[in-house]
A and B are shown apart, each in its own frame.
Chain A
């Protein structure tokens, strides 16, 4: 596998994850099935790439792409968790922590002075 091939593998893997993000924005059962297919394909690409790099310690231009893929993957995970919260209807409001993580927030108490 040439350096360009390794780069292609990383590009393709990231493209699969990007499609998962798009699919999860409308999380129907069919979209979830297709997301599994895309993620499986991304895993296959990554396994090929890993097999190629194993034990060689060679520099590879795909490194920043894989780092970006991991960031996209975090977002896919976020969408997945949120889709589940929406589906089961139990999730309270979500907010961002100081470090930018999406976390559940405590419900606000309604002021009792409100006149209905």
Chain B
């Protein structure tokens, strides 16, 4: 009897095993295109009877490949965010002298030159006022656009923090499901949702994950700030009240702004706290430099009534570009003459010469504007280039993740040797082509 009983038991075990195996295959096929899903493997052969559980289910997920995807996604989020913000700023810094601030500066000093030819001509003086108004308007308009870009970027910081907190909340819930599920094996469907959510989260911040013994994932922002530990979520917050910069704080109120290195949050913080304020400072410096130089030169001359010249521009210190304005003086108050030669053009010539003098940090006004414009252009180009490179690196990391599941160590070792040989060959070819193209460029005048 025992022989028959053993045979029946064995058959029953095999059927149970086969049923479970089919279930795993069905799950793999059904979830082939589910975001975040990793293929589940059968741990032993169907006929194995020695192990207590011959069909131990195992995930083929490669955590190294996963973290590579998160890292690249996080960098892409950063440059995508930065490109989006800077794209709204760049049109305000035209590189050519035919429009915007550079044209109005050039026009203003051209009218001083015209004034020197006809120092007592009312229409020439009126033209100076028109051009001064235009300079002020252009600075005001650019400062307003920069202010709008800054406000938009600050909103992006808040939106990124909201997204991080929302997604961290979902991960906390998934962790709860993982902890509740019975047995040592994670539910592959919950695991898939969990990893898809972490990938979404990585777009907003540089996140790292640590697998705990109970199957839950601890999620850290930039390796230091816990977002989720088990079923506990730690929300981060934005602080916009601490001056012109924006800071991000952890759940204890500690400032973590300097730790945030990537993701949309990192890109927005870089724009809000570094790039846009530096553009604003440069613009303010230029507006103040022009106003001070022109007002100073006018004060050194005399007007029609031989009184010292009145100021042409007014502004508020610390906010020069946005507040720059024409003072509203009359044509008679324009100091075209030098003090020693009333009615002459001595001061108009000095005003005209300001346009080509290196009066601002060793640069002319046009030169200073050019350096501002090229800085913005360079930042935009750099963000765009890095964005493109990151798209390709992310595609590569995703392809690697797809390819890495369930590869045997022997196969991987063989591939590694093949890969190393090919890698060295290509690296050499890249170097040769680089040198060749460099030489070719040098040959073309």
Contact = CB atoms under 8 A, between A and B. Distances in A.
Interface in A62-101: 62-63, 66-67, 69-71, 73, 75-80, 82-84, 86-89, 93-96, 100
B444 A60 contact: yes
A50 B423 contact: no
Interface residues of A, number: 63
B429 A114 contact: no
Interface in B312-337: none
B272 interface: no
A94 B390 CA distance: 11
Contacts of A69: 437
A69 B437 CA distance: 8
A109 B441 CA distance: 46
B443 A50 contact: yes
Contacts of A115: 229
Contacts of B229: 114-116
A36 to B, nearest CB: 5
Contact of A110 (B223, B382, B440): B223
A33 interface: yes
A39 B436 CA distance: 12
A40 B178 CA distance: 52
B408 interface: no
Interface of B: 64-65, 68, 71, 75, 208, 212, 218, 220, 222-226, 229-230, 259, 261-262, 382, 385-386, 388-389, 392-393, 395-397, 399-400, 403, 415-416, 418-419, 422-423, 425-427, 429-430, 432-434, 436-441, 443-445
Interface of A: 13, 17, 20-21, 24-29, 32-33, 35-36, 39-40, 42-43, 46-47, 49-50, 53-54, 57-60, 62-63, 66-67, 69-71, 73, 75-80, 82-84, 86-89, 93-96, 100, 102, 107-111, 114-116
8 contacts: A28-B403, A43-B432, A73-B434, A73-B437, A80-B426, A84-B419, A107-B223, A116-B230
Given A39-B430, A88-B416, A108-B208, 19 more contacts: A26-B395, A26-B396, A35-B422, A36-B425, A36-B426, A40-B429, A42-B433, A50-B436, A50-B440, A58-B444, A66-B441, A70-B437, A79-B392, A79-B396, A83-B423, A86-B65, A93-B71, A114-B226, A115-B229
